[in-house]
Amino acid sequence: MSDKTALSETSAGSDLEALFRPQSIAVVGASSNVRSQGYEYVEGLVKFGFPGPIYPVNPKLDELLGLKAYPRLQDIPGGVDFVISAVPASAVFELVEGAKEKGVKLIHFFTARFSETGRADAIEMERELRKRTQEAGIRVIGPNCMGLYYPKQRITFDPMVLEEEPGNIGFLSQSGSHAFRVIGRGKNRGLRFSKVISYGNALDLNEVDFLYHFADDPETEIIAAYIEGLRDGKRFFEALRYAASRKPVLVMKGGRTPAGHAAASSHTAALASERSIWRVAVEQAGALEVASLNELIDLLVAYRCAGPVKGRRVAVLGGAGGGTVEAADLCAEAGLELTPVPQEIREALRDKLPHAWDWIGNPLDASILGWGPLRANEMDILGMMAAHPAYDGVLLNFHVERALHRMGLEKLPPEAIEMVARLGRDNDKALVLVVEEPEAREEERVRAVLEARDQLAAAGLAVYPDIERGIRAMGRYVSYEMQRASR
């Protein structure tokens, strides 16, 4: 990419910030039907507390949720920066004419049934929509998408997505449902977002624009992307390389298989690419490919919560028996190194643990010491390992159910959470915590474990639901950060 091209592309990405900070928003196709998207867009903006005027637009409404409604965009007395379209596809050209007259800068088209249908008339309608919005100087998100979620500006695409605390993760998603899932599943695991952009068919603004935007966005420190197809493969990989040279970039590709390719085409009219070419190109660009939504969320949790990467050597409390063996195998497969317990730690434990001081290993087998991860001997040993320069990180398989039973408690006390948090924080090392589902199915036990998991995540810890996901996330996080540091 030439210097001139890079400058123009990054400037375009930076220019989006002004579009994402509207002073007023109109929802065209607003509805009193509480089950309609035209209602939910208005409800979400009201509940989230968007600070500027919100204008419902529908000739059949006088007011909605206490807001005065207008028959047409042109009838709104004040200026309108941003329009959300919830009208049928047949009404979009009239909407564009009104937006042009009002000087609208950005339209998000939730409106669907364009090129994603594969129908010739719908494809032609989308081409015409692109032509008319370009002639009017209006930028477009969509069509066929959920739009913009921007907590700092109190903009949301759904009344259920109202997390008030802005974060440092920027997520661009060709899928609206994946945007919902990443926000929803990530919330209880400590993830917070700078912006989430669901962009659908990418008639105008697309993955290239959003990558450049997030690369230069001071509010975004981690970039995640879900891509089904590319408008321009060359420009995309130039943008990906630019973004990955500045920040961690995690990319999930939809349509990797023939079946997925077919589904992607009917979802967003995406042009899927060859899997092998895609994988190599993502790696060469310096980004990290992920294979599933769970893996994407797990890696975002590592980035936001696990702590600094110093190297591959980890101290592991792996459970007992088979769990310890499994943890060892998973660590080896994930590229993590299980450094043996240093002799000085063994010697320091000789008097305290005369029956086990020369027996303990890494992974640390809890059954050797007596069950319950909050027993002093286990935490003491793990703490000594965490503090030792032989280790770069800690992975704790925390059997909360058994710990609560041993301590005779219904929920984790604050001091227990602090004890765990200190393992990584006090030693400035990466810490990954596994809290598995309870073995018993009594409702109160399940509730206690899930509550403990939420408490630990709320304390800023990187929490995973099973040992496999925890170790694989840690391995990929460590490997990618070490690669980035070496570039």
For residues 142-167, average pLDDT: 95
Please state, rounded to an integer, the average pLDDT across all residues of the chain. Answer: 89
Helix (H) or strand (E) holding 15: helix 3-19
pLDDT digits (tens, 9 = 90+) for 70-88: 999 999 998 999 999 999 9
Whether 112 has a pLDDT exceeding 50, the answer reads yes
Q: 3-state DSSP call for residue 228?
A: coil
Alpha helices in 360-466 (DSSP H): 366-369, 376-387, 400-407, 414-425, 443-458
453 contacts: CB under 8 Å, gap ≥ 6: 400, 435, 463, 465
pLDDT of residue 86: 98
**Whether residue 342 has a cis bond before it, omega within 30° of 0:** no
pLDDT digits (tens, 9 = 90+) for 347-369: 988 888 888 888 888 998 877 76
pLDDT digits (tens, 9 = 90+) for 335-347: 999 999 999 998 9
Whether 229 has a pLDDT exceeding 60, the answer reads yes
pLDDT of residue 271: 42
Q: 3-state DSSP call for residue 416?
A: helix
Q: How far apart are CA 378 and CA 398, in angstroms?
A: 11
pLDDT digits (tens, 9 = 90+) for 404-435: 777 777 788 888 888 888 888 899 999 999 99
- Lowest pLDDT segment from 174-183, 271-280, 467-476: 271-280
pLDDT digits (tens, 9 = 90+) for 315-327: 998 777 788 899 9
pLDDT of residue 408: 75
CB atoms closer than 10 angstroms to residue 275? 15
Whether 97 has a pLDDT exceeding 90, the answer reads yes
pLDDT of residue 264: 45
Q: Tell which phi-psi region holds residue 362, choosing left (phi > 0), alpha (psi between -120 and 50) or beta.
A: beta
Separation in Å, CA 72 to CA 41, 63, 69, 450: 17, 13, 9, 49
pLDDT band at 155 (very low <50, low <70, confident <90, very high): very high
Whether 95 has a pLDDT exceeding 70, the answer reads yes
pTM equals 0.91
pLDDT digits (tens, 9 = 90+) for 42-62: 999 999 999 999 999 999 999
Question: For tokens 């929509």, what's the residue?
Answer: 129
**Whether residue 159 has a cis bond before it, omega within 30° of 0:** no
pLDDT digits (tens, 9 = 90+) for 30-39: 999 999 999 9
Counting residues of the chain whose pLDDT is more than 70, the rounded percentage is 91
Pairing assessment for the beta strands 63-64 and 67-68 based on DSSP bridges = antiparallel
pLDDT of residue 4: 38
CA-closest candidate to residue 201, choices 262, 256, 267, 298: 267
- Of residues 188 and 215, more confidence is placed in 215
Separation in Å, CA 57 to CA 37, 60, 69, 74, 266: 13, 9, 5, 10, 30
Q: How far apart are CA 287 and CA 232, in angstroms?
A: 18
pLDDT band at 3 (very low <50, low <70, confident <90, very high): very low
Bridge partners for 197 per DSSP: 148, 172
Helix (H) or strand (E) holding 17: helix 3-19
Q: How far apart are CA 135 and CA 375, in angstroms?
A: 70
Q: How far apart are CA 448 and CA 452, in angstroms?
A: 6
pLDDT of residue 340: 94
DSSP state of 370: -
Whether 134 has a pLDDT exceeding 70, the answer reads yes
Whether 6 has a pLDDT exceeding 50, the answer reads no
408 burial (CB, 10 Å; 0-12 / 13-18 / 19+) is exposed
Sign of CA dihedral 112, 113, 115, 121: negative
Whether 263 has a pLDDT exceeding 60, the answer reads no
Separation in Å, CA 259 to CA 231, 252, 296, 382, 441: 20, 16, 21, 46, 37
Bridge partners for 106 per DSSP: 82, 139
